[in-house]
Chain A
Amino acid sequence: MKLIRLFVFITLFVTGVVANEQTQSDKSYLQYFKSEPTHCYVNYDSILKNPTKYKALLSSIDGRTGRTIIDVYEKGLSGAINYNQVPKQFIFKNNDCINENIPTITELENLAKSYKIDTETIKKYNAETSNINQQLKDLENKYLSEDAEFTQVGDKKYLTTASYLLACLTFNETIVDIKKSLELNRIVLKDGYTIYPNNSVTTTETTVETVETGQIIPASSVILTKDEEVTKKYTTIKIDSISEYLSNNVILYIWEFRAKFDKLLLKMKTSLFLLILPFTLGLMGLTKITKKISKINDFDDIAEKGVMSFVLIFMFYFTNGHFTDNNKDDIRLSTFQNTAGLLFQKSIKFADETANIFSTSYINFKRRNAGFLTEKEVKNLIIEEMKNKKELESLEYVVNNCPVQWNTYRLKSFFELADNQSFPNRFQLTKWLQKGGTNAISQFYKTEQEPILTLQICGQVERRVRVLNKEIDKIDKKLKEVANAMKMSEDKKQLFKIAKIQYHTVAEQGFLAIPQVAVTNIVTDNLNMFGAKTNEKSELKEYQKQSSTDDNLDGSNTSGVFESIFPKLAYMMLPGADSIKKVLTIDKIDNIPLLGNFLSRIPFFKEAVNGIGLAITIIMMKNLVIYFPVIALSMASLMIITWYFISVFIYFLISPFLIVYAGSQQQTEVIKSFITRGIALAFKPILIVLSVVVTILAISLIKDLATIIFDKNFNLMIDLVRTESNYGLVLFFLFLQGVLTVGTMVISLFTAFYLVFSGAEMFLSILGFKETGVDIKETVGNSIENRTGKYNTPGA
C-alpha cells in the first residue's frame, strides 16, 4: 500500500515538473523569436532570430481562446529540415487570434428573428414557457419540495404509503398505535403522524327516503297526499389517502398474531437459549480441556466470545414492553428490532426522496425534449449559435486565402484526398514530412514565396469549419424545436397531465410510484410524444443512410416499395402471431352465415379477408412488442416491491431466533452476517429506484446500439447480395433485418423485466453481498417468475 502511495506521489511530482517545464519553454519564446507576433496569422519563420538554423511553423490556432502553437524545427547543415525530430513547441495566447465573439444585442435580436423567435414572439414565448416552467415548478413545489403544500399537514408528519406500510410491518410503535388499533379494530396512528395529505375528495351519496303524507317534497313546493319515496343527494367533502386502501385487516391480523405469539416467543427463546447456552459452554470447555491434555495450542478468542454473548443477549434477547398491563397481549421488540426498524424507516425516506428527484428530473427531461426551454436556456442557445457564427466569420480569411496560397488540385491528387477535402490532415502531412517531403513542399505553392498560412493551419481550419457547421446545425435544430414548441399546445397539456399525476403519486406513495414514471416513459416514446420523433434516433437512421451512400453502397439502403414489406413479416415469427392470425382469417367461406354460399362464389374474397387478418396480426404484434415492456416493468416492479416488504417482515419475524443459532455456531460470524443482510435489505428501496433508472437507460441504449452496430452492416450485406443479382436472397436479408429489429425489441423487453426484477440484487452483488437470503426474491420470487414468465413476456 505504501509502495502504491509512493508511486502515485512520484507520478504526480514528475507530471508537475513536466508541466512546469512546458511553461518555461513558453517563456523562452523571445530566445528564438525577435518579437511578439503583430497579428494572428504571421509568418513566424520571418521573425525568427536565427532563420538559418531554425524553421518555424504555425501549427495550430484556437479561434476562441487565441491559443497558438508554433513548432520550431532545427535545420541540418544543408539547410534541410528533418521532420523526424521532436520540434520545440511554443504554446502561447495570441491576443489577435481571440475572437471573443460576444454578440451584440442587435445581433442576437436578428438571429432570434431568423428563427421566428423575435422580441415579440420571444416575449410571448417567454410568457408561455415561463408560464409552463412556472406551472411545472409550482406543481413540483406543491407536491415534492421539502415544504410541499401537499404533504405539509401542520402539526403532524405525513407518511407516504411506503413508510406507512413499513411501519405496520415492523411493528413500529413510534408511528402506529398497535394497542389502540387492536381495540378499535382499525389501524390507528400515533398523534404525530398522519396518512392523509392535503388532499380532499368530494363524494356524492344518494339515499332514498320515504317522505310522509302532508310533507313538502324537498326542492319543490308539492305537498304530498300520500307517503312517497324521494331520492336525496348529499355532497360531502372528505379527506382521503390511498394508504387506507391497503388491506387493514391483514395488518391487524399480523399484529394480533404477533401479540399473541409474544409470550410464547419469549418462552421459546428462553428455553432454547438456556438449553443451547450450557450445551455450547460445555462443548467449549470440553474442547479446551482436550486441547490442554493434548498440548495443542488453542487460539480461540474467549474474550470475544464473552463480549459477543453479552451483545447477543442485550440485542436479541432483552425486549421492551410497551403495554404495562401484563394480562394483555403485547408486542415486545428486541433492541435489535427497534434499531433495525429505525434504519428501515430512514432508508424508505431516502428512497422516497430519490423517487422525488427521479420524478422531477424525468419531467425536466420530457420538457426539454418537447422544446419547452426556459428563457435562460433559449438565450444561452442563441448566444452559443452567435458565437459559432462569429467564429466561422473570423475563419473566413483562412478559408479564402488557403486555396489562393496553396495548389489544392495538386494537394488533392498527391495526398489522395476525399472529394470534400482540400488539405491533408495533420497525420497525413506529418507522415509525409517525416518521409522526407520537406524539400518537395514547394511544389504545392501557388506563389513564389512560402505561404504565410501553413498547410497545418489550412487543414486545421478546414476541419474546424466543419465542426462549427455541425454545431451551428445542431443548435439550429434545437432553436427550431423551440419555435415549434410554441405551437404544441397538446404536448403542453399532456406534459402537465403527466407531471401532475406523477408528482401527486410520488408524493403520496413514495418510492412505490416509481415504476409509473418508467412506464410513462415507454408509452410517451412509443407515441412519439414530446419530440421523440425528431430525436437522435431518427437522426441516427438518417446518418446511417447518408454514410452508406458515401461508402458507395449501391442504394441497398433504399429498398423498393414491395421489398419494404419483407422486414415487417418478421413480426409473424413471434410466438402467438400464428394463433392471432388463425382467429382473424377464414378457412371456409361457406361457413359464414347468411351470405356464405354467395360469398364463396366471389373471386379473391378469401384472399382479401385473409389479407386484412394478416395486416391486423402484424399491427397487433408490433404493438405487443413495443408495449410489452410496460407489462414486464409493471410486473417486475410489483414483484420486487412486494418481495421487499415481505422480506422485511420475515427478517423481523425471525430475528429472535438468531439467539439460538448464534449461540450454537460461530457467534461473531452469524451476527455479523445477519446485520449485514439487514443493511442490504434496508437500502433495497433505493436500489429498486436506481434499477428503474438503469432500466430506462438500458431500453434506450439497446435500441440505439442495435441501430449503430447492425444497420450499416446489414446494408452492406444486402448490397453484396444485390450485386450478385440474387433477388430472393435480398428479400431474405431484408426479412432478417426485420427479425433483428423485432429481436432488439424483445431483448429490451427482457431487459426491462430482469433489470427491475434483479437490478437491486445485481447492485448488491457488485457491492459484495452475494449471500442468499438477502431477500425473499431468491427463494420465492424466482420460482414465481419461472411460472408466471409467460404473462410478463408473451411472444418471447
Chain B
Amino acid sequence: MLIKCPECQEAISSDVEKCPKCGVDVEKKILISEAVKQEQILKAIAGFINVIAIIFSIYLFGLDSQQYGMFSNNIYYLYPLIFAFISSIYFAYKLKSNNEQAKQKYIEANKL
C-alpha cells in the first residue's frame, strides 16, 4: 500500500522502514507525531513501578536477611521484582500495540 512520507510527502510503500527519497525513519516519524505522548506516559508508569519494586525487593531482602540470617529459605523478596518483570512485559506489549495502532491510523489517513 502506498502512503505519504511524513517528511517529504512523497508516495512510499507502507512497509518500508526508511523513506527512499528523503531517508527519514518512517515509523519513528509517524510515532513522534501520533503516539509520543502515550508512550511517555506508559514509560513513566512502568519505570516508576520498576523503581518501587527494586527498592521494595531490596528492603524485603534486607529484612529477611536481618531476621533469618545467611541461610534463610524464603524467596518472598523476589515477588516485587517478578511483578515488575510481568508489568514491564505488559507495558512493552502495550507500547507495541499503541505503535501499531498509530501506524495503522497514519496509513489510513495518508494512503494514496
**Chain A residues with a Cβ under 8 A of chain B:** 526, 541, 559-565, 567-568, 570, 595, 598-599, 601-605, 607-609, 611-612, 615-616, 619, 622, 626, 738, 741-742
- CB of A562 within 8 A of CB of B62, answer yes
Q: In the complex the two chains form, what is the Cα distance from A436 to B93 in whole Å?
A: 91
A-B contact pairs, 15 of them (CB 8 A): A560-B66, A565-B58, A568-B61, A598-B96, A599-B88, A601-B39, A602-B88, A603-B47, A603-B50, A605-B88, A607-B50, A607-B54, A608-B50, A611-B54, A615-B57
- CB of A602 within 8 A of CB of B43, answer yes
- CB of B51 within 8 A of CB of A615, answer no
- CB of B70 within 8 A of CB of A598, answer no
Q: Which one of B43, B66, B78 contacts A561 once the chains associate, using CB atoms below 8 Å?
A: B66
- CB of A605 within 8 A of CB of B46, answer yes
Category for how many chain B residues contact A: 20 to 34
| With contact pairs A564-B66, A568-B70, A608-B81 given, residues A619 and B75 touching in the complex (Cβ less than 8 Å) | yes
- CB of B54 within 8 A of CB of A608, answer yes
Give the shortest distance, in Å, between B96 (CB) and chain A (any CB).
Answer: 5
Q: Look across to chain B and name the residue whose beta carbon is closest to the beta carbon of A528.
A: B73
B92 an interface residue at 8 Å Cβ cutoff? Answer: yes
- CB of B81 within 8 A of CB of A561, answer no
B95 an interface residue at 8 Å Cβ cutoff? Answer: yes
Q: In the complex the two chains form, what is the Cα distance from A611 to B59 in whole Å?
A: 13
| With contact pairs A568-B70, A608-B84 given, residues A563 and B92 touching in the complex (Cβ less than 8 Å) | no
| With contact pairs A598-B96, A622-B70, A742-B70 given, residues A608 and B62 touching in the complex (Cβ less than 8 Å) | no
- CB of A567 within 8 A of CB of B81, answer no
Determine the chain B residues whose CB is within 8 A of the CB of A626 once the complex forms: 71
Q: In the complex the two chains form, what is the Cα distance from A604 to B61 in whole Å?
A: 19
Q: In the complex the two chains form, what is the Cα distance from A563 to B82 in whole Å?
A: 23
Which residues of chain B from 46 to 77 have a CB within 8 Å of any chain A CB? 46-47, 50-51, 53-54, 57-59, 61-63, 65-66, 69-71, 75, 77
Q: In the complex the two chains form, what is the Cα distance from A616 to B61 in whole Å?
A: 12
Q: In the complex the two chains form, what is the Cα distance from A626 to B69 in whole Å?
A: 14
- CB of B43 within 8 A of CB of A601, answer yes
Interface-central residue, A601, A604, A607, A616, by most chain B CB under 10 Å: A604
Give the shortest distance, in Å, between B44 (CB) and chain A (any CB).
Answer: 8
Give the shortest distance, in Å, between A545 (CB) and chain B (any CB).
Answer: 12
- CB of B70 within 8 A of CB of A604, answer no
Determine the chain B residues whose CB is within 8 A of the CB of A607 once the complex forms: 50, 54
Give the shortest distance, in Å, between B77 (CB) and chain A (any CB).
Answer: 7
Determine the chain A residues whose CB is within 8 A of the CB of B53 once the complex forms: 608
Q: Residue-by-residue, is B20-50 near A (CB-CB < 8 Å gives 1, otherwise 0)? A: 0000000000000000000100010011001
- CB of B78 within 8 A of CB of A612, answer yes
Q: In the complex the two chains form, what is the Cα distance from A616 to B70 in whole Å?
A: 14
Give the shortest distance, in Å, between B86 (CB) and chain A (any CB).
Answer: 10
Q: Look across to chain B and name the residue whose beta carbon is closest to the beta carbon of A595.
A: B92
Q: In the complex the two chains form, what is the Cα distance from A612 to B39 in whole Å?
A: 26
Give the shortest distance, in Å, between B17 (CB) and chain A (any CB).
Answer: 12
Give the shortest distance, in Å, between B105 (CB) and chain A (any CB).
Answer: 18
Q: In the complex the two chains form, what is the Cα distance from A741 to B47 in whole Å?
A: 37
| With contact pairs A565-B65, A568-B65, A604-B54 given, residues A612 and B92 touching in the complex (Cβ less than 8 Å) | no
Q: Look across to chain B and name the residue whose beta carbon is closest to the beta carbon of A609.
A: B85
Q: Which one of B57, B65, B78, B92 contacts A599 once the chains associate, using CB atoms below 8 Å?
A: B92
| With contact pairs A561-B59, A605-B50 given, residues A611 and B81 touching in the complex (Cβ less than 8 Å) | yes
B89 an interface residue at 8 Å Cβ cutoff? Answer: yes
- CB of A602 within 8 A of CB of B46, answer yes
List 19 additional contacts besides A560-B66, A565-B61, A595-B89; criterion CB under 8 Å. Answer: A561-B62, A561-B63, A563-B62, A564-B62, A564-B65, A565-B62, A595-B93, A598-B93, A602-B50, A602-B91, A602-B92, A603-B46, A604-B51, A608-B50, A608-B81, A609-B81, A611-B54, A611-B58, A612-B85
Give the shortest distance, in Å, between A190 (CB) and chain B (any CB).
Answer: 53
Q: In the complex the two chains form, what is the Cα distance from A619 to B70 in whole Å?
A: 10
Determine the chain B residues whose CB is within 8 A of the CB of A615 once the complex forms: 57, 61, 75, 77-78, 81
Q: Look across to chain B and name the residue whose beta carbon is closest to the beta carbon of A742.
A: B70
Q: In the complex the two chains form, what is the Cα distance from A738 to B72 in whole Å?
A: 13
Q: In the complex the two chains form, what is the Cα distance from A741 to B71 in whole Å?
A: 10
Q: Look across to chain B and name the residue whose beta carbon is closest to the beta carbon of A527.
A: B73
Determine the chain B residues whose CB is within 8 A of the CB of A562 once the complex forms: 58-59, 62
Q: Look across to chain A and name the residue whose beta carbon is closest to the beta carbon of B39.
A: A601
Q: In the complex the two chains form, what is the Cα distance from A456 to B46 in whole Å?
A: 74
Q: In the complex the two chains form, what is the Cα distance from A611 to B52 in whole Å?
A: 13
- CB of B66 within 8 A of CB of A598, answer no
- CB of A608 within 8 A of CB of B47, answer no
Determine the chain A residues whose CB is within 8 A of the CB of B47 once the complex forms: 602-604
Give the shortest distance, in Å, between A573 (CB) and chain B (any CB).
Answer: 13
Determine the chain A residues whose CB is within 8 A of the CB of B89 once the complex forms: 595, 599
| With contact pairs A567-B65, A602-B43, A603-B50 given, residues A608 and B70 touching in the complex (Cβ less than 8 Å) | no
Determine the chain A residues whose CB is within 8 A of the CB of B59 once the complex forms: 561-562
Interface-central residue, A526, A541, A611, A622, by most chain B CB under 10 Å: A611
Q: Look across to chain B and name the residue whose beta carbon is closest to the beta carbon of A737.
A: B70
Q: Top 8 nearest A-B pairs by Cβ distance?
A: A603-B47, A604-B50, A564-B65, A561-B62, A564-B66, A598-B92, A608-B84, A595-B92
Q: In the complex the two chains form, what is the Cα distance from A608 to B78 in whole Å?
A: 10
Determine the chain B residues whose CB is within 8 A of the CB of A559 once the complex forms: 66
Determine the chain A residues whose CB is within 8 A of the CB of B91 once the complex forms: 602
Q: In the complex the two chains form, what is the Cα distance from A607 to B46 in whole Å?
A: 13
Which residues of chain B from 88 to 112 have a CB within 8 Å of any chain A CB? 88-89, 91-93, 95-96, 99
Determine the chain A residues whose CB is within 8 A of the CB of B84 once the complex forms: 604-605, 608
Q: In the complex the two chains form, what is the Cα distance from A541 to B70 in whole Å?
A: 13
Determine the chain B residues whose CB is within 8 A of the CB of A563 once the complex forms: 62
Q: In the complex the two chains form, what is the Cα distance from A748 to B63 in whole Å?
A: 27
Determine the chain A residues whose CB is within 8 A of the CB of B43 once the complex forms: 601-603
Give the shortest distance, in Å, between A570 (CB) and chain B (any CB).
Answer: 8
Determine the chain B residues whose CB is within 8 A of the CB of A609 once the complex forms: 81, 85
Interface-central residue, A560, A564, A615, A622, by most chain B CB under 10 Å: A564
Interface-central residue, B54, B57, B75, B81, by most chain A CB under 10 Å: B81
Q: Look across to chain B and name the residue whose beta carbon is closest to the beta carbon of A563.
A: B62
Q: In the complex the two chains form, what is the Cα distance from A564 to B57 in whole Å?
A: 13
Determine the chain A residues whose CB is within 8 A of the CB of B81 once the complex forms: 608-609, 611-612, 615
Give the shortest distance, in Å, between B29 (CB) and chain A (any CB).
Answer: 16
Give the shortest distance, in Å, between B38 (CB) and chain A (any CB).
Answer: 12
Determine the chain B residues whose CB is within 8 A of the CB of A619 once the complex forms: 75
Q: In the complex the two chains form, what is the Cα distance from A415 to B91 in whole Å?
A: 73
Interface-central residue, A563, A598, A616, by most chain B CB under 10 Å: A598
Q: In the complex the two chains form, what is the Cα distance from A526 to B46 in whole Å?
A: 39
Q: Look across to chain B and name the residue whose beta carbon is closest to the beta carbon of A622.
A: B71
Determine the chain A residues whose CB is within 8 A of the CB of B93 once the complex forms: 595, 598
- CB of B85 within 8 A of CB of A595, answer no
Give the shortest distance, in Å, between B93 (CB) and chain A (any CB).
Answer: 6
Q: In the complex the two chains form, what is the Cα distance from A616 to B77 in whole Å?
A: 11
Give the shortest distance, in Å, between A195 (CB) and chain B (any CB).
Answer: 42
Determine the chain A residues whose CB is within 8 A of the CB of B85 once the complex forms: 605, 608-609, 612
Q: In the complex the two chains form, what is the Cα distance from A741 to B51 in whole Å?
A: 31
Determine the chain B residues whose CB is within 8 A of the CB of A564 once the complex forms: 62-63, 65-66
Q: Look across to chain B and name the residue whose beta carbon is closest to the beta carbon of A599.
A: B92
Q: Look across to chain A and name the residue whose beta carbon is closest to the beta carbon of B77.
A: A615
Q: In the complex the two chains form, what is the Cα distance from A789 to B53 in whole Å?
A: 41
Q: Look across to chain B and name the residue whose beta carbon is closest to the beta carbon of A744.
A: B70
Q: In the complex the two chains form, what is the Cα distance from A562 to B56 in whole Å?
A: 11
